[in-house]
Chain A
Amino acid sequence: MSLVVKSSLLNKVDGSAEVEIGRTKLVASVSGPIEPRSRQELPNSASLEIIVRPAVGVSTTREKLIEDKLRSLLQNVIIRHKYPRQLIQIVIQFLVTEDTNNYSITESQKQKLTSIELNAAINACYFALVDANIALYYSFSSVCICANSSIEEDNLKVNPDMKDLAVSRSHHVISYGITHSSSYNVLLIESQGDFSEDEFLKLLDASGDLCKSLHDEQRSHIESKIKKEFIWKQ
């Protein structure tokens, strides 16, 4: 799996990260804790505002659904009671997606792309949240997997591109929370397609290992980031 990460690239927000996974490239930014609008304010925890913006055009219900899925993950990861009556604002801006510069995409392919985009957004959020110093219960990482005719080890395709998705029988975004560098807790599952129970349970295990190895990558990114940022301490 290849992650290209650049964090702290924006100055006006508290945390930001630019992530490239496969052909998908996006920027995530986090501002917070900041003052909320009065109707967003929650008395005992932070409210989350999540904005997803597509690479082309204005955001539609498709982006709203990605926002919703992201929110269901992030509200369980951010230690929200640490920031009562405050707002954490997260903006995801897609820059390059599989469907840009593609003139043959069908509606169903576009719908399947949601999982690639959700997966990229989750992983980008992690770096942006860390960059913004927002308190988290645990680290998290996410993988996008698609399965062909039957879910067996060799039939799984991790980080699929659009062609893989088009021929796949099912596709999954699975995100794990990670503590003590072992994948520990399933945070999010978004699976679609046609698959059996056993297939899925097998896949759930496989994705745990993948999330863990992705987390090792995350760690090395963050390590080098900290080294860079605290260079004046030495």
Chain B
Amino acid sequence: MQEVDQISFPPEVLSRIAPDLSLERHLKLGLRPCLRSFSEFKPIAVSSPALEDEPNLVGSSIVSHGQTKVICGISIGVVEAKNQSDTLNQNETNSQDSKSDGEYDAEPVYPVVDIARGRTGAPTEEEMILSQRLYEWVLQSKIIPASALLTNPGVAIANQTSSSQGSSADVTILYPEDSDMPDLFSRVKPYKFVLYVHLKVFGRSGPLFDPCHAALIGALKNTRLPRIYVPDSSIYSIKIPIRSRGNFGHRVKETRIFIDENQDLSNPLQLNKDNIGGASNYGLYDLSPGSTSMDVDPNVIILADLEGDAEEAECMSKLNLIYNPNKKSINNISYSGGGMVLTKDTLKQCFKLAKKRAENTQ
């Protein structure tokens, strides 16, 4: 009879060939593969502003979350603000709510997440989903009041005396609030900033919403919006004839907009700071031996801040929370689970952890 050899693998090999088994053994020992304790979070550090000398960015931050680094930069675009009447007569449709802050008639931010993965190409599903979740969070938390992005452009006026030489160096820019010429500004349309948020992720080692969310908040907090102005002549509507079928001599107004490079005039972006919450994620793992989904009181472990492929793949139930320590309220719960019963006690424990985490990272 042949002797049956017990095959054993070193832990690093086992974790690759049987991640489920490896994770289960770790957890039974009270350990996680990343050597953190069950309810221990990865350290998160936000440094912002991070890229101050970059002239094209209005806000920036760098977040390191365990091994993961997220670089966030915000650049701006300008669009013509729709006046209220443009969108609709709001009278009869949800009158009281439509004008409150946080109801945007257009997208206020465009978050774009890019996860470094060693090749280029169309955005992956994870990137698209992360971008959309961040976008939805901005809308839902109403962190940016709609009025904060509105701006009334100034007017650049060339000084008449020196213009004879053709030297246009002597230009002053007047802004509506410090000028007593209301008719000068009456024809200038209000504009609106759109914030383009670029997030670059290096060293993905777990769910990315939390660090991206922290990076977005960090960058928004130090965002400064510059002033914009239009040249004097363009408010009197330069009409540029355009050639079209049959040429009716039609003219289209064209307004050119410039950004005032004077940093002293820029204003910090107004934020509803009370609405900022802290995000955290949890995986639930059922340790009860040979557990089936019918077990009523399973031995559920809460793993805070998932890390590594094994934890991400083997935790069938995942929970994302955004807790707002200022208002002591929950802003977001996103749970998907299977195979085990989510008890209220588990949920309460997660809430407690989220609360602590949000308060610590505030």
Q: Which residues of A contact B (CB under 8 A)?
A: 61-62, 64-65, 68-69, 72-73, 75-77, 103-104, 106-109, 111-112, 114, 137, 163, 166-167, 172, 184-197, 200-201, 204
Which of these, B129, B329, B336, contacts A187 with CB under 8 Å? B336
Q: Could you tell me the distance between the alpha carbons of A4 and B140 in the complex, rounded to whole angstroms?
A: 30
- Name 22 A/B residue pairs within 8 A (Cβ), A-sorted: A61-B135, A62-B132, A65-B136, A69-B334, A76-B336, A107-B104, A107-B107, A107-B108, A108-B103, A163-B94, A166-B97, A167-B94, A186-B335, A189-B334, A190-B335, A192-B136, A192-B332, A194-B331, A200-B333, A201-B344, A201-B348, A204-B347
**Shortest distance between the CB of B197 and any CB in chain A (Å):** 14
Tell me whether B87 and A75 are in contact (CB under 8 A).
no
Return the contact of A106 from the options B103, B330, B344, B348 (Cβ within 8 A). Answer: B103
Question: Which A residues lie within 8 Å of B335 (CB)?
Answer: 186, 188-190
Most chain B beta-carbon contacts within 10 A, residue among A68, A106, A195: A106
Residue of A nearest to B332 (CB): A192
| B133 contacts A by Cβ under 8 Å | yes
Contacts of A62 in B (CB 8 A): 132
Q: What separation, in Å, do the CA atoms of A4 and B153 have in the docked complex?
A: 53
A64 to B127, CA, bound (A): 10
Q: A107-B104, A166-B97 are in contact. Are A200 and B132 (CB under 8 A)?
A: no
- Report if A77-B338 is in contact (Cβ < 8 Å); known contacts: A196-B328, A196-B329: yes
Check A194 against B327 for contact (C-beta < 8 Å).
yes
B327 touches A167 (CB 8 A): no
Whether A76 lies near B337 (C-beta < 8 A) is yes
If A106-B104, A185-B341 touch, whether A197 touches B330 (CB-CB below 8 Å) is yes
**Which of A69, A76, A137, A195 meets B329, CB within 8 Å?**
A195
Measured CB to CB, the closest approach of chain A to B84, in angstroms, equals 10
Residue of A nearest to B140 (CB): A192
Asked if A193 meets B125 with Cβ closer than 8 Å, knowing A69-B336, A186-B342, the reply is no
Chain A residues whose CB sits within 8 angstroms of the CB of B344 once the complex forms: 201, 204
Instruction: Assess whether B351 is interfacial by the CB under 8 Å rule.
Output: yes
The answer, yes or no, to whether B241 is at the interface (CB within 8 Å) is: no
Q: Which of B90, B140, B293, B334 contacts A193, CB < 8 Å?
A: B140
What residues of chain A lie closer than 8 Å to B106, measured between beta carbons? Answer: 107
Interface residues, chain B, with chain A CB atoms under 8 Å away: 87-88, 90, 93-94, 96-98, 102-108, 125, 128-129, 131-133, 135-136, 139-140, 142, 293, 316, 318, 324, 327-342, 344, 347-348, 351
Say whether B316 contacts A108, CB under 8 Å.
no
Complex interface: chain A residues within 8 A of B337 (CB): 76, 185-188
Q: Is the CB of B94 within 8 A of A166?
A: yes
Given A64-B128, A103-B88, A137-B293, decide whether A187 and B338 contact each other with a Cβ distance below 8 A: yes
Tell me if B336 and A192 are in contact (CB < 8 A). Answer: no
How far does the alpha carbon of A72 sit from the alpha carbon of B88 in the complex, in Å? 38
A166 to B139, CA, bound (A): 13
Chain B interface mostly helix, strand, loop or mixed? mixed
Task: For the complex formed, measure the closest distance between the CB of A36 and the CB atoms of chain B, giving whole angstroms.
Answer: 16
Chain A CB within 10 A, most for which of B133, B329, B338: B338
By beta carbon, the residue of chain B nearest A108 is: B139
Bound-state CA distance A217–B104 (Å) is 38
Do A61 and B139 touch (CB < 8 A)? no
**CB nearest neighbor in A for B348:** A197
Q: How far is the CA of A172 from the CA of B335 in the complex (A)?
A: 11
Evaluate contact between A76 and B339: CB separation under 8 angstroms. yes
B129 touching A64, Cβ below 8 Å: yes
A106 contact set on B, CB distance < 8 A: 87, 98, 103-105
Kindly state the separation between the CA atoms of A167 and B94 in the bound complex, as whole angstroms: 8
Minimal beta-carbon separation of B356 from chain A (angstroms): 13
Chain B residues positioned under 8 Å from A103 (CB to CB): 87-88
Determine the residue in chain B with the shortest Cβ distance to A73.
B336
Which residues does chain A contribute within 8 Å of B330, judged by CB atoms? Answer: 191, 194-197, 200
- Chain A residues with CB under 8 Å of B96's CB are 167
Across the interface, do B97 and A167 meet the contact criterion of CB distance under 8 Å?
yes
Once the chains bind, are B87 and A104 in contact (CB under 8 Å)? yes
Q: State whether A65 and B129 are in contact (beta carbons under 8 Å apart), knowing that A114-B136, A137-B293 are contacts in the complex.
A: yes
Q: How far is the CA of A166 from the CA of B97 in the complex (A)?
A: 7
Complex interface: chain B residues within 8 A of A192 (CB): 136, 140, 331-332
Q: Cβ of A64: which chain B residues have Cβ within 8 Å of it?
A: 125, 128-129, 132
| Distance from A209 Cβ to chain B, minimum over Cβ atoms (Å) | 15
B97:A75 contact, CB within 8 angstroms: no
User: How long is the Cα–Cα vector from A73 to B318 in the complex, in angstroms?
Assistant: 11
Q: Contact at A107–B339, with CB atoms within 8 Å?
A: no
Q: Which listed residue (B139, B318, B331) contacts A107, Cβ 8 A?
A: B139
Cβ contact within 8 Å between A61 and B132: yes
When the two chains form the complex, which single residue of B136, B336, B339, B347 contacts A201, counting CB atoms closer than 8 Å?
B347
Which A residues are CB-close (under 8 A) to B131? 61
In the complex, chain A residues whose CB is within 8 Å of the CB of B107: 107
Quick check: A184 and B132 within 8 Å, CB to CB?
A: no
CB distance from B246 to the nearest CB of A (A): 32
Query: In the complex the two chains form, what is the Cα distance from A112 to B88 in whole Å?
Result: 20
* Complex contact A65–B342 (CB within 8 A): no
Q: How far is the CB of A55 from chain B (nearest CB, A)?
A: 18
Which B residues touch A187, using CB under 8 A?
336-338
CB distance from A162 to the nearest CB of B (A): 8
